[in-house]
């Protein structure tokens, strides 16, 4: 979140809107407060949450006001200058201009960062998918679309009925507050086969990850392009991605249903081109681990471990160590072998034992 998803998304939207890049850190902090305020204002939070979030919202609006005043005097090729010109022609009021800028900033930053983080989480827990996308980057666009279906960055949306209506046999009077769950709709088995499976062959068009009809997100093409490029670069420049066993991922929670993204997502990234384990050691180790766990070789990589592989329990770990020692005719150091965190560390131990 701090090293990639947030800086990328906030930089892109600040450049597009016309907010100075030296305000990025503030935008990053206050956009979350503004989103919290919008949820709390529709009844999805306590009065205390609303009051706290409005402090950040006020700071966000102050930054936008400064940017608007700057572009009044110095028009440029960006969104604020376009909206300022619309205000001068009477198309927009100043209040509408300010709120549009805030909406575009929040929608173009917070949700996109969460989408990228959700994808990174899935890739870290699914090594076979990581390898599939590395081998065929042309599938990344499909991955982004399935990601938006399975993990839409907004899981609960408030709407009010404009007239009396019957929905699923329930009579609703005008001005009824409804809570809509796009994440649930996107996993409706009547619409999607095997809805809980990320399927790169699926035609995912029609999902509600970016809304629908007049409520379709105007930034959807940008979000798709930004996420696609983010994953293309990440896969190209990274050999492997795995969870940090010494740190805990902390989700965004408390004001909307479902997992929207992460406040913290600690991952360990191995740079592409970094020194690699000799294949005559690494490949056999991976095969032995796969055989011991009853899995396919394609499911195993350097980041495979007990935390991301349910079959890997304490007994399985002992079976893996025994098989490694017999296959390579080595004696592994007991303590290091018992505490090895993943396949990469096991391969390192085997290589060291052979060399010694």
| The pLDDT value given to residue 258 | 43
Determine contact, residues 29/56, Cβ cutoff 8 Å.
yes
Q: Where do the structural domains in the chain lie, given as residue ranges?
A: 5-193+218-271, 279-355
CA-to-CA separations, 168 to 14, 69, 175, in angstroms, rounded: 42, 49, 18
Stretch 38-66: mean pLDDT: 74
CATH number at 5-193+218-271: 1.10.630.10
| C-beta atoms surrounding 195 within 10 Å | 16
Q: Could you tell me the pLDDT band of residue 301, with boundaries at 50, 70 and 90? A: confident
Chain position carrying tokens 């949306």? 157
What is the rounded distance in angstroms from the CA atom of residue 352 to the CA atom of residue 342? 16
Stretch 66-79: mean pLDDT: 90
Looking at the predicted structure, is the pLDDT value of residue 121 above 60? yes
Predicted TM-score (pTM) of the model is 0.72
- Spatial neighbors of 170 by CB under 8 A, at least 6 apart, are none
Hey, which residues does 158 pair with through a beta bridge?
Answer: 179
Q: Which residue has the higher pLDDT, 182 or 252?
A: 182
Looking at the predicted structure, is the pLDDT value of residue 94 above 60? yes
Strands 250-251 and 262-264 turn out to be: antiparallel
Nearest to 151 by CA among 119, 123, 178, 125: 119
Stretch 269-296: mean pLDDT: 84
Looking at the predicted structure, is the pLDDT value of residue 257 above 50? no
| The pLDDT value given to residue 190 | 93
Give the 3-state DSSP-derived string for 199-228, with helices as H, strands as E and coil as C: CCCCCCCCCCCCCCHHHCCCCHHHHHHHHH
Looking at the predicted structure, is the pLDDT value of residue 26 above 80? no
Chain position carrying tokens 């930089």? 11
Max mean pLDDT among 21-30, 260-269, 310-319 falls in: 310-319
Tens digit of pLDDT for each residue in 126-138?
A: 989 999 999 999 9
- Show the DSSP H helices in 42-162 as ranges: 47-73, 79-88, 94-125, 127-135, 140-150
Looking at the predicted structure, is the pLDDT value of residue 256 above 50? no
| The pLDDT value given to residue 106 | 78
Looking at the predicted structure, is the pLDDT value of residue 231 above 90? yes
Mean pLDDT of the chain: 86
Stretch 76-86: mean pLDDT: 91
What is the rounded distance in angstroms from the CA atom of residue 147 to the CA atom of residue 118? 8
**Matching CATH number, 279-355, of 1.20.140.10, 1.20.120.420, 3.30.390.30, 1.10.1200.10:** 1.10.1200.10
Nearest to 172 by CA among 206, 180, 154: 180
| The pLDDT value given to residue 35 | 67
Q: Provide Rg for the chain, Cα atoms.
A: 25
CA-to-CA separations, 201 to 100, 139, 193, 245, 285, in angstroms, rounded: 37, 9, 12, 32, 31
Percentage of the chain beyond pLDDT 70 is 91
């Amino acid at each position: 979140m701090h090293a990639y998803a947030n800086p990328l998304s906030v930089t892109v939207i600040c450049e597009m809107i016309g907010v100075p890049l030296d305000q990025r850190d503030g935008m990053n902090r206050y956009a979350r407060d503004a989103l919290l305020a919008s949820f709390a204002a529709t009844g999805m939070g306590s009065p205390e949450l609303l009051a706290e979030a409005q402090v950040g919202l006020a700071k966000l609006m102050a930054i936008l006001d400064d940017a608007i005043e700057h572009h009044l005097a110095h028009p440029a090729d960006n969104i604020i200058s376009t909206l300022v010109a619309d205000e001068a022609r009477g198309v927009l009021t100043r209040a509408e201009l300010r709120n549009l800028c805030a909406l575009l900033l929040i929608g173009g930053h917070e949700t996109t960062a969460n989408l990228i983080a959700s994808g990174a989480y899935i890739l870290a827990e699914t090594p076979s998918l990581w390898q599939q996308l590395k081998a065929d980057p042309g599938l990344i666009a499909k991955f982004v679309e399935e990601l938006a279906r399975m993990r839409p960055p907004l899981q609960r949306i408030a709407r009010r009925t404009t007239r009396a209506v019957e929905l699923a046999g329930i009579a609703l009077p005008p001005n009824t507050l409804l809570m809509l769950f796009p994440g649930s709709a996107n996993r409706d088995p009547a619409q999607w086969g095997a809805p809980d499976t990320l399927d790169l062959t699926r035609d995912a068009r029609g999902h509600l990850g970016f809304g629908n009809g007049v409520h379709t997100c105007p930034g959807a093409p940008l979000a798709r392009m930004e996420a696609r490029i983010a994953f293309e670069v990440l896969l190209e420049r990274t050999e492997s991605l795995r969870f940090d066993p010494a740190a805990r991922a902390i989700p965004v929670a408390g004001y909307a249903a479902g997992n929207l993204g992460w406040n913290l997502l600690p991952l360990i990234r191995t740079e592409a081109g970094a020194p690699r384990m000799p294949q005559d050691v690494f490949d056999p180790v991976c095969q032995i681990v796969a055989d011991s766990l009853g899995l396919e070789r394609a499911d195993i990589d350097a980041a495979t471990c007990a935390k991301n592989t349910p079959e890997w329990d304490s007994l399985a770990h002992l079976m893996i160590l025994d098989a490694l020692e017999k296959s390579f005719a080595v004696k592994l150091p007991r303590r290091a072998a018992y505490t090895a965190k993943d396949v990469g560390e096991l391969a390192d131990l085997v290589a060291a034992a052979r060399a010694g």
